[in-house]
Amino acid sequence: MAVPLRQTLRLGAYLARQRLAGRDKFPLLVELEPLFACNLACAGCGKIQHPAPLLKQRMPVDQAVAAIEECGAPMVSIAGGEPLMHPEIDVLVAELVRRKRFVYLCTNALLMRRKLDRFRPSPYFAWAVHLDGLRERHDVSVCQEGVFDEAVEAVREAQRRGFRVTTNTTFFNTDTPQTVREVLDYLNDELRVDQMMISPAYAYDKAPDQEHFLGVEETRALFSKAFADGGRRRWRLNHSPLFLDFLEGKRDFACTAWGIPSYSLLGWQRPCYLMSDGYAATYAELLATTDWERYGRGRDPRCANCMAHCGYEPSAVLATMGSLRESLRALGGRA
Ligand code: SF4
Ligand code: SF4
């Protein structure tokens, strides 16, 4: 199954409520960034480039919870920076879980084993551990040796304690269909994480390494070859089948960046977490003051190579919900 049944049903009910209310734009998931600081310095990261005074700031829990309540999204992905460096990250997660939001806590896992005691397993909570490949590949990606081994130990310890553990893997143009298959086979069959998220790297302008991002045709070629042996039906990928079709080039969609908005220390980022054309104070203001038609591939040259989930997974989810056949395909896990 692409996502847990409880989450699928909750999302379906949420989408039905938006339709009944006549809303054409609404958030499915918020990318919440309560800090930009990190204990790693990956070459592809555009977050740790912020000025030092901003890197020192931490978002108060009340402010983060108020933002999630204002927008009403059923799912929250907490990222950064490294969220485990936030002194009240456990309180923030607990408050969101108490409100029955599905929370993914994204982490590079360096602090995870030390902080596991502060969290409780819940159907509303999952770890999302950053793993860009097998040992050598991942450690090169995060520019530090030993991070892969620590992340694997942290995943195993969290699994022992009954947590739901997912992973998040970004692929670059140094990847091949073989490296994609190797890491997904490992995560699926050996580490046995609950679900895996995958993403083609996007060349956002703050990232210092601009050479290793995938173009649209490279992304399609990479995933269509990696998926050619039917692995995607076996892997527990945390994506809708239509989004995986999109990565393979079998379907195309318009960007719906309003579906996965980003809220950080700077406010609601326009139009998505990959680009910053200013910030809004509330999600309502973001919706009202953004010309959404300006964005997406074919509209804005900065979007030309983007196939990121924040723009296109909501499009795939909405297309799924609008089709009985695709809904049954997603529910049946027929990736
Ligand atoms: S772990 Fe994430 S936030 Fe930290 S430097 Fe790497 S990409 Fe950036
Ligand atoms: S295509 Fe959409 S998600 Fe991608 S960078 Fe442009 S606005 Fe953001």
How far apart are the C-alpha atoms of 187 and 134, rounded to whole Å?
A: 9
pLDDT of residue 296: 92
Ligand 1 centroid distance, CA of 177 (Å) = 24
Query: Residue 2: what pLDDT?
Result: 43
Kindly tell me the number of DSSP H helices and DSSP E strands found in the chain: 14, 9
Position 212 scores a pLDDT of 63
pLDDT computed for residue 1 by the predictor: 38
Q: Is the CB of 318 under 6 A from ligand 2?
A: no
**57 CB neighbour count, 10 Å cutoff:** 15
Protein residue whose Cα sits closest to atom 8 of ligand 2: 272
pLDDT at site 8: 83
- What does pLDDT average to in each consecutive run of 10 residues of the chain (335 residues)? 72 92 96 97 84 96 98 96 98 98 98 98 97 94 96 98 97 92 97 96 60 82 93 91 94 96 97 94 98 94 91 92 76 62
Assigned token pair, 282: 């509330």
Q: Is the CB of 303 under 6 A from ligand 2?
A: yes
- The closest-lying atom of ligand 2 relative to the alpha carbon of residue 271 is 7
Question: Does the Cβ of 203 fall within 6 Å of ligand 2?
Answer: no
Predicted local distance difference test score (pLDDT) of residue 254: 94
Dist. CA 36–CA 46, nearest whole Å: 10
* 246 contacts 312 by C-beta, under 8 angstroms: yes
- Taking the model in full, what pTM does it have? 0.93
> Using a 6 Å cutoff on CB, does residue 40 contact ligand 1?
yes
Where do runs of H (alpha helix) occur along the chain? 5-20, 52-55, 61-71, 89-98, 112-115, 135-141, 147-160, 177-185, 216-226, 231-234, 241-248, 283-289, 309-321, 324-331
Which residue is closest in CA terms to ligand 1's atom 3? 81
Residues in the chain: 335
Q: Which among 276, 293, 195, 240 is positioned nearest to 28, based on CA atoms?
A: 240
| Nearest residue by C-alpha to atom 1 in ligand 2 | 296
